[in-house]
Structure formats: structure tokens, C-alpha cells
Structure 1
């Protein structure tokens, strides 16, 4: 019987040793997981920071928006003779100081009379505030060669 007790004791001690070894391995794995969590969080912070910096650099290096506020868009309405009119949505500065460009070529004379614009054309224009039809600034213009501004393929800028 004494021999059986020793054998049982050895088995119990062996089980306890194996259990402690297993607990040590699990504890070391838990420590590894904790460090992985820290490094994952650090990676997220670093990744987010790099993304923010790259996005900022990308936006900084982009060319300016191709949308030109000063470009006259919409339909030029035929008035009479060589005169067309268009409502102006964006205008910087005074009405009398505005300049009209046809493909970057300055048109004028500015502030011409409607009858002169209609009869002679040649790039004459007038900018005024119309309270009857458009409720805002209106541009009366003629093109440099008295063609229809809707079909001649040129761009008109008001600055």
C-alpha cells in the first residue's frame, strides 16, 4: 500500500508541475496579447497620423479648382442688333469698374450706351443693375467680331 501512495503522490506532483507550466505559458501568452494590443493601438495612431499628413499634402499640392467664379455661364439672351444680355451671379467690386474679357482679351469700351452696343458692337458692353427682369446685375455685351456668344466657342469673364 505504501508503494501505491508514493505512485499517487508522484502523479499528483507531476500534474501540479504540468498545471504550473501551463499557467506560466498562458500567462506569457496573455502578456504577449497585451503587448499586441498596445502595438495595434500604436499602429492605428501612427496610421491615422500618416493618413492625415498624406491627405493634407495631397490637398496642398492639388492645383486650384478649375471652377472660375468670374466665368459667365448660361445663355446669352439676344436683345437687338449685336447686343446680348446675361444675368451676372458673381461680381467683385463696383459695377462701373468691371472689365469684360473674351478669351483673356479685354473688350470695350465699357459702360457703352445700349443703342451703340446694338448698332456698332465690336466688344462694347455695359453692366447695370436691373430691377425689372433679373433682380440683379445684368451685362449687355457684344462680341469682338459681332458673332453670337452662345455659338462662337469663346469664354467670357467679368472681373
Structure 2
């Protein structure tokens, strides 16, 4: 009985300390391999809060890309920095579909991509 009470108190105290840890800011850098969708469009899973994703801006190095919420067919056929965030109903993380500013492969063009 004392072991059960002691274990319960320990668990409650330990979980209480989790509230003292400040929340971490989202990681703005998009890392990993960008997967070619079609044409000039690439896709990548982004680690960014869903509540903030619709207001996030995409940057290539320090240059803003866009406009945001572009049509996927335009991203694929026209490119030039168009992008869109979306989430499949069965997924819990957002996906970014985008093209680089000059329609080069973002895996090899040497530029860094970030969200703000």
C-alpha cells in the first residue's frame, strides 16, 4: 500500500516538473530530402505547429518566396517560388509543396529553406 502511494506521489511530482520546462520555439529550418512531386514542384514534411502554419512564410536563404497558397498545378508548371501548405486528413503534420525561385532542384542548389 505504501509503495503504491509513494509511486503515485513520485509520478505526480515528476510530471509536475514538465510544466516548468519552457516550450521550445518551432524549428524554422526545413531539413531532409525534398521529394520531387512533378514538374518544378517538390514536397517536404515540415515540423511546424499546425495552428501557425497558415500564417508561416517560406524563405529561400533570406529571400521570401510566394505567393503562399498557390495552386499545385501552378507550382508544378510555373514554379518560381510558388508554394502551398496542406495536410492530408489522415496525417498529423503539415506538408509543404514548393518550387525554388529559379526552378532548380532544392536538394542540389545549395540554398537553405526556412519558415517564419
TMscore range, shorter length: 0.7 to 0.9
Residue among 37, 42, 47 paired with 1:89: 47
8 Å contact kept, 1:89–1:137: yes
Greater relative contact order structure (CA < 8 Å, 6+ sep): 2
Unaligned runs of 5+ in 2: 1-25
Match of 2:103 in 1: 146
Unaligned runs of 5+ in 1: 1-67
1:74-113 superposed matches below 5 A: 74-91=32-49, 93-113=51-71
Normalised TM-score (structure 1): 0.53
Normalised TM-score (structure 2): 0.72
String of CA shifts for 1:30-61, please: whole Å, max 9, x gaps: xxxxxxxxxxxxxxxxxxxxxxxxxxxxxxxx
8 Å contact kept, 2:81–2:100: yes
Residue among 55, 72, 91 paired with 1:114: 72
C-alpha distance in 1 between matches for 2:88 and 2:31: 18
C-alpha distance in 1 between matches for 2:54 and 2:48: 15
Q: Give the 3 Å change call, closer, same or farther, for CA 110–78 of structure 1 in structure 2.
A: same
Q: Which has the higher helix share?
A: 1
Match of 1:137 in 2: 94
C-alpha distance in 1 between matches for 2:49 and 2:31: 13
Count residues with an aligned counterpart: 91
Determine which structure has more spread, i.e. the larger CA radius of gyration. Answer: 1
Match of 1:21 in 2: none
